[in-house]
Chains A and B, each alone.
Chain A
Amino acid sequence: MPIHDQGYRRYGGRREAHGRTWWVITRAGIIERLRERKFLGLLLVAWLPFLVRTVQLYIAANYQQTAQFLGPTPGLFREFLQQQGIFVFFITMYVGAGLIANDRRANALQIYLSKPLTRVDYVVGKLATLLIFLIAVTWVPGILLLLMQMMFAGNLTFLKANLFLFPAITAYAAVAVTMAAFSMLALSSLSKSRRFVAVMYAGLIFFTAAMYQALRGITSSRAWAVISPGDVLNVFADVIFRNQNTPPIPFPVALLVVALLLGGSVLVLERRVRGVEVVT
């Protein structure tokens, strides 16, 4: 029997309005990652510090003699979020490296962009995939930790005294995950190999930190922190969590560095995410 006899029917059903296609991409990206045991393992490990901090808060709330050294302080939340930085790094590498690189390898961009979605939809869809996982290991456990403190203490005393912690945790997590996600997505659009992208990202983080330390040692100037995204993020942490340390660079400069990083990433994405690659 010729294959065309298997039939083809016209579709008369409903069609979604434009504007939700980014979520189709995000949803597929999330499902694909959650099917991988290795990744689920990584997510579980990323929540271990939360468990440890929860136990710490429980002990501090129930055993008065430990309250002095285990008791909650705004610093505890900052430390917790900064410790989560290592998981932000690994999840960014794991999820983000292949987000666009794999599509470029398989020529999938022309498939995507021949559908009724814009380049912005595509980038937002990919970005949201990474952001959701990063938020799941930063903002979500950070806020939960604050709620745990309230629950174990049985009062709102700490919270009332440190009401800024809700927006602080939100703001710090937002800056950290946005920087990681945008820079990784931009790097991912530059290559067809996810491994090469992962190496580039690791280089961006570690090489710039090492360069900062080297230049700081040579010139005795902390201003070189501008070249290290990790140290720029620390400046944000100091300001957001009201730390009295003298930052290596003024906050407006740190803000400018983050803006440049995000702007540069957007520029790279604008140039690289196209239906056809034109080489002239």
Chain B
Amino acid sequence: MDNDAKLPESEEGTVLFSVDPVIIKQHYEIDYLHSYAQDSPFFAGLARKKLMGSLCPGCGRRYATPRGHCMECGEPTTWSELPHEGRIHTYTTCYFGGEAFLQETPFTLILVEFAGVDTLFLSRLVGAEPEEVAIGMKVRARFLRNCKFKPTDVYFVPA
């Protein structure tokens, strides 16, 4: 037994914002082992410059954003390549955003509609000023050469 036991002291301090009440900086960060699981072929497709959507063999519904089972009839879907050209269904230019995207502002978000496909695809539009963007405008997909396996590996430009 040591009656004079001591914890070692450290040089690290705490960032303090206020003493009434006491407000300190509390850091939190984490890396996940994130699996795209059944959606993996979409992200693998981006590296091959392919846009992979879903087709329901049960009811024929076509999805621009993939899903493993049909939203309407519940059947398992199959993979189906989407065209690289579509039209803007709606759009916005963001001048603010979540912290992770603040440096990228302003950026333009679009929902893309493809002929014969029942649902839409969220992406970014580059190469057009905010006032040049319009609903119905033709757009064409481009792909990053250095794939990051994220949905931003594909983006759209005016067609």
Q: Do A and B associate with each other? A: no
B residues lining the A interface (CB < 8 Å):
none
